[in-house]
Amino acid sequence: MAFLQQCGNLIRVFVNLSASCQNILTPRLVVNNVFGGYVSSMSTTYSQKYAYSTTTNKQLDFDTSNNSKSMLLKLLEESLQSSQRDTSIEILEKLKTNQIEIRTHYYWPLLVQASTEGETSIISTIKHMLNLGVEIDHTTLIEFILPFINTSNPSMTLQKLTSIGLTLSQVKNSLVCYYLEHEKINETINFLTTTKGSLNFDKINNSLVKYFQLSNDVDGCSRILQFSTKYKNYAGIFLDKIFLTKTNKYDILVLDKFINSFEQHKIYISSDTLKLLRDNFSSNNYKDHFNILMRLNNIENVNLEQLNSERLSGIPHPHNMTLEELECHLVELKSKGFNTRGVLRKLLIIHCKNNNLNRVEELRDEIKKSDMIMSPAMKAHLLDIYTKNENVDEVCFFIMDLQKNHPSFVIDSFKLINAATMLVKHNKIQKTLEIINSYGNALHQAPSECWKLLDTIARSEHAEMTHNFLITLVKKNYCEINNTILGPLIRRHLIKNDLVSAVDTFDVLSKMYSLTPLKQELICALVETKSDDKIAKLLKIVSDIVLSTHGQPTLDMELTIAYAKHGMIDELKNLLKNFVHLNVLIENSTKHIPDDFKENILINILEASKGLEKIDRVGIYELILDIYCKNENYQAAIELWNKIKLEDVIPPLTLKTKFTNLLSRHNVPVPQ
């Protein structure tokens, strides 16, 4: 880890210098760091590096037929040095095929190369890493991904990276660190306020210290510390790093500001931290500031975990170790013949959360050989990872084991419903219903997971059981009735193109619950079907229900989307004449429609709105541009820009800014 951190720090220097030394950060230079040449590279001047790298642009021929580990790694090094991306990818795939470990930093040169080609290339490289099962660690995110993609909107960045396979906590923690180290405190706070998921302050604390050293923003640091868990001494560790290191340059007046800010934000430190701070400033002739030192009592919480003793010993408690530190600690404990149960337990749970199945299997074997008794929590985590990897036998085993040996243990609602969904996919429908019925009422609802389960059943050969499962889930408090959860009851009929049954069910549900589940999909299906008296009657029933439940504007908008989706321009034009605030309605109604469908809908609305003065066509253009920006499709954005110019209208500043930012991210000049 120290080696990788050194590499990361060195690369950061080059990234920071790249603005003034163009092209200094080359794949060749990164390879020198990745494959062990970084010590000698550090003694080379920047100009020598640049000259050296530019001589390797010629295409080299590689014989990738040799499958030995040493030969493949040598070929990989050479292909990366010569910036031959396709060859490097081929060799990495051979490494995977031959079950040779692919380390994360092998991809650093490819990410550096991708950064010169734009965000799309970065995303493509990340997807390839994930497809080969390569872990994307904190250093890689901070140094080689986030600096080269658009991070102006943190929520969109989070959505973009999680949608391709990164975990929420993984992206969230790294993104917070990245923002702090770039002094973007307002973006950080807004992001933390509006997103779910826990934070790992073992990682974030160091970035927060860097932020304070850059900004001296006491209140900003306090507002970030408010998001840490209230049961651990993270605020104390932060003050430790600020005031109790050898390089400390802050006096007691700065401490006074932190005390005031902590009191205001109700942030507390442990008794250990208080004692260390008081001893430090008392020994430095700060007796004149006795009142400040006494006010430390106002932010003391004697119940906080005493983590500061770790600073004195230099060895963290296993509870606060990183994954790498825990693995090393396990090796050390085994070599000394010490008890390994606690570390094995923690490693098993972490690797289950990270979905590292191979390592979980190894740890499970170690636990079995050591005659260690697994806790129900460990078994629940194993249930979860086997669910993710669709191992039916193991999932059934652990469910039965927990029921038999730990009857008082309550399986987390999310884990149980996810397991049920997986079993349904594997045609274990009756077994799934028995499992859900065998457990008591849920302590916490899992609406999203319940919807996935019901939707999976609706799409299966057991679609007729969707309603039975819904009744069971609601009865046992796993979810409650709403439009979303009722949707699969309609979808099971739409999948079979049974429009009569779909409308009948829609009618019944609207009368029972005053809800209109899947109204948009149902109207689209009816509009798409070749019109006859029967279909017209069904559409009239659905339209009347939507009208009475939601009103005329909603009905008109649903019909607009249906006509636009199926390219019915004449019908669409007649309908659009009634609209005044079309853009707001479109934005709200298309929020959950996939981008490819949404783009087609908006383009058809533009076509139908020609000559209609009440329609804000530029606003619709901007909604289409938002799709292109989200998907980094700058070619389509340029075509759209040319269409706007042909209309002889002045685009608003927001549209111009989005367009120019998109092109700049891909190093494409803005058209005149």
Token digits for 232?
Answer: 């651990």
Whether the Cβ atoms of residue 81 and residue 31 lie closer than 8 Å to each other: yes
What pLDDT, on a 0 to 100 scale, did the predictor assign at position 35? Answer: 55
pLDDT digits (tens, 9 = 90+) for 282-319: 765 555 678 888 888 999 887 776 544 445 445 566 76
Q: What is the pLDDT of residue 74?
A: 86
Residue 39 confidence (pLDDT) above 50 = no
Q: Left (φ > 0), alpha (ψ -120 to 50) or beta: where does 516 sit?
A: beta
Q: How far apart are CA 475 and CA 421, in angstroms?
A: 18
Interatomic CA distance for residues 217 and 238, integer angstroms: 13
Looking at the predicted structure, is the pLDDT value of residue 449 above 90?
yes
Q: Give phi and psi for 30, each to the nearest 5.
A: -65, -40
Q: What is the mean pLDDT of residues 516-526?
A: 94
Q: How far apart are CA 144 and CA 156, in angstroms?
A: 19
Report which of residues 455 and 664 the model is more confident about: 455
Range scoring the smallest mean pLDDT among 355-364, 431-440, 611-620: 611-620
pLDDT in tens, 78-113: 888 888 888 889 889 888 888 888 888 899 999 999
Look at residue 287 in the predicted model and tell me its pLDDT: 57
Task: Name 530's Cβ contacts closer than 8 Å, sequence gap at least 6.
Answer: none
- Quick one: pLDDT at residue 312? 44
How far apart are alpha carbons 537 and 529 in whole angstroms?
Answer: 13
593, 630 contact by CB (below 8 A): no
Per-residue pLDDT band at 613 (split at 50, 70, 90): confident
Separation in Å, CA 52 to CA 11, 38, 46, 81, 108: 17, 14, 10, 10, 19
Instruction: Tell me the per-residue pLDDT of 6-16, one tens digit each, with 9 for 90 and over.
Output: 454 444 444 44
Distance CA 228, CA 268 (A): 11
- Are residues 24 and 46 in contact, defined by beta-carbon separation less than 8 angstroms? yes
Distance between CA 343 and CA 339 in Å, rounded? 9
* Percent of the residues in the chain that have a pLDDT greater than 70, as a whole number: 86
The pLDDT score that the predictor gives to residue 67 is 64
- Three-state DSSP at 65 gives coil
Handedness of CA 73, 79, 80, 81 (dihedral sign): positive
**Average pLDDT in the chain:** 83
Report d(CA 208, CA 238) in Å as an integer.
8
**pLDDT, tens digit, for every residue of 119-158?**
888 999 999 999 888 888 888 999 999 999 888 888 888 8
300: helix, coil or strand?
strand
Please report the pLDDT score of residue 632 as a whole number. 83
Q: What mean pLDDT do residues 512-524 have?
A: 95
Backbone φ/ψ region at 184: left (φ over 0), alpha (ψ -120 to 50), beta: beta
Which residue stretches of 295-445 are H helix? 309-313, 323-336, 341-353, 357-369, 376-388, 392-405, 413-425, 429-438
Q: Is 323 exposed, middle or buried (0-12, 13-18, 19+ CB in 10 A)?
A: middle
Q: Which of 63-67, 179-183, 649-653 has the lowest mean pLDDT?
A: 63-67
Quickly state the pLDDT bin for 40 (edges 50, 70, 90): very low
Question: Residue 243's closest CA among 316, 305, 296, 287?
Answer: 296
Tell me how far apart the alpha carbons of residues 155 and 172 are, in angstroms, rounded to a whole number.
Answer: 9
Among 230-239, 510-519, 554-563, the range of highest mean pLDDT: 510-519
CB 10, CB 24: distance < 8 Å:
no
> 596-611 pLDDT, tens per residue?
789 999 999 999 988 8
If you write DSSP's letter for every residue of 602-668 in order, what string do you get? Answer: HHHHHHHTTT-TTS-HHHHHHHHHHHHHHTT-HHHHHHHHHHHHHTT----HHHHHHHHHHHHHTT-
304 DSSP assignment: S
- DSSP summary character for residue 409: P
Q: pLDDT grade, residue 397 (50/70/90)?
A: very high
Q: How many CB atoms lie within 10 A of CB 61?
A: 6
Distance (Å, whole) CA 13 – CA 208: 20
Of 419, 442, 441, 440, nearest in space to 431 by CA: 419
Share of the chain above pLDDT 90, in %: 43
Query: Of residues 63 and 97, which shows the higher confidence score?
Result: 97
Domain locations along the chain:
1-149, 321-373
Instruction: Compute the half-sphere exposure of residue 169: CA atoms within 13 Å on the CB side of its CA.
Output: 9
Q: Residue 18: its pLDDT value, please?
A: 41
**pLDDT bucket at 631, cuts 50 / 70 / 90:** confident
Per-residue pLDDT band for 230 (boundaries 50, 70, 90) equals: confident
The token pair at 346 is 């923690």
CA distance 616 to 612: 9
Token pair for residue 665?
A: 């991210």
Over residues 641-655, the mean pLDDT reads 87
d(CA 160, CA 134): 19
pLDDT in tens, 322-352: 788 888 888 988 888 888 888 999 999 999 9
Burial of 543 (0-12, 13-18, 19+ CB in 10 A): middle
